[in-house]
Amino acid sequence: MNILFIGDIVGRPGREMVRKGLRGLIERYDVDLVIANAENSANGFGVTKEIGDTLLEWGVDVMTSGNHIWDKKEAIDYIATEPRLLRPANYPAGVPGRGSYVAQTGDGRAVGVINAMGRVFMLNIDDPFQVVLKEIEAIRHRTRVIIVDFHAEATSEKMAMGWHLDGKVTAVFGTHTHVQTADERILPNGTAYLTDTGMTGPHDSIIGMEREPSLARFLNAMPSRFEPATGNPRLNGVVVEADDKTGRASRVTRLSFSERELVDMAAAPKGAPLRTTVP
Ligand SMILES: [Fe+2]
Ligand SMILES: [Fe+2]
């Protein structure tokens, strides 16, 4: 089966890329299940019920998140009623929501999704390396295919998680930095790995936000109000092909598409050659 993972969706420009491009991507890559990180989908900060429900309607099957999950207060109520919205599993006990979910493909095959968050340069929450093993144990009797979104800042911590889980899950995909890395590979025991899947949103920006206030914060160290940028929207993500029976990854393909490319893809007949541009 093929699973599409979409990197952090930032604001309306990011959502528009999903709206315009998802159907074409599903068709082109024969996608059975779609996972998307939605932590920045509501104006760059958090997620609302209206936006989450819309993403699900457009074809996203499971939404992951990260440190921005609580930015919109209504996410506390939404996550309690929507099991397809995950928050990092290693938040302390008692925090609303869940860190894993077992989804079904259209033809009834199960896919596990686990969300965890790193601690290097981030909140000092519970140990993600231990918690993720417990989450795998809790769902592995239901499926061998398990995708982990490891939301973390440090490349080293993400890579460590990849090796920690090699042979235990189908894929470990990093999120949070909003900058796609070019190190996709399949580790020796069959786990697909990519340090960061990148950002689905405006790329003429500073990690999705308007350049001026973001740059100003570095120049004068004073607070400034961040709004999502609009220029050069791109969809970033990754597709992993997995063996249903063993859960091993057989292929991993990194994606980065402009709006034009997505629109062309949606219009092109299946199998037509891809025309891509430099970001
Ligand atoms: Fe993010
Ligand atoms: Fe984040």
| Least confidently predicted of 6-15, 133-142, 229-238, 261-270 | 261-270
Mean of per-residue pLDDT scores for the chain: 96
- Cα 122 to middle of ligand 2, angstroms: 9
**pLDDT per residue over 32-56, tens digit each?**
999 999 999 999 999 999 999 999 9
Give the integer Cα–Cα distance in Å for 262 and 235: 8
Give mean pLDDT, residues 6-19.
Answer: 98
**pLDDT per residue over 175-218, tens digit each?**
999 999 999 999 999 999 999 999 999 999 999 999 999 999 99
pLDDT at 246: 97
- Cα 117 to middle of ligand 1, angstroms: 12
Question: Is pLDDT above 70 for 279?
Answer: no
Nearest of 5, 20, 72, 24 to residue 233 by alpha carbon: 20
**Residue with tokens 């961040």, as numbered in its chain:** 226
Question: Is pLDDT above 90 for 269?
Answer: no
The pTM of the full predicted model, rounded to 2 decimals, is 0.97
**pLDDT per residue over 223-262, tens digit each?**
989 999 999 999 999 999 999 999 999 999 999 999 999 9
Give the integer Cα–Cα distance in Å for 14 and 140: 32
Catalytic residue among 68, 164, 176, 178: 68
Question: Is pLDDT above 70 for 278?
Answer: no
Crossing angle for the helix pair 11-28 and 49-58, to the nearest 10 degrees: 20
pLDDT at 260: 96
Confidence of residue 7 (pLDDT cuts 50, 70, 90): very high
**Which two three-digit tokens encode residue 138?**
């809790």
pLDDT at 277: 60
Give mean pLDDT, residues 133-150.
Answer: 98
Ligand closest to 6 (CA) is 1
Q: Is residue 141 among the annotated active site residues?
A: no
- Cα 221 to middle of ligand 2, angstroms: 21
Give the integer Cα–Cα distance in Å for 255 and 181: 11
Percent of the chain with pLDDT over 70: 98
Give the integer Cα–Cα distance in Å for 146 and 136: 8
Instruction: Tell which phi-psi region holds residue 151, choosing left (phi > 0), alpha (psi between -120 and 50) or beta.
Output: beta
Give the integer Cα–Cα distance in Å for 225 and 223: 7
Question: Is pLDDT above 80 for 276?
Answer: no
- Cα 34 to middle of ligand 2, angstroms: 19
Identify the burial level of 182 via C-beta atoms within 10 angstroms of its C-beta, where 0-12 means exposed, 13-18 middle and 19 or more buried: exposed
Question: Is pLDDT above 90 for 272?
Answer: no
DSSP 69: T
Question: Is pLDDT above 90 for 77?
Answer: yes
Ligand closest to 42 (CA) is 1
Ligand closest to 197 (CA) is 1
Confidence of residue 157 (pLDDT cuts 50, 70, 90): very high
- Cα 126 to middle of ligand 2, angstroms: 17
pLDDT at 268: 86
Query: Which residue type sits at 199?
Result: M
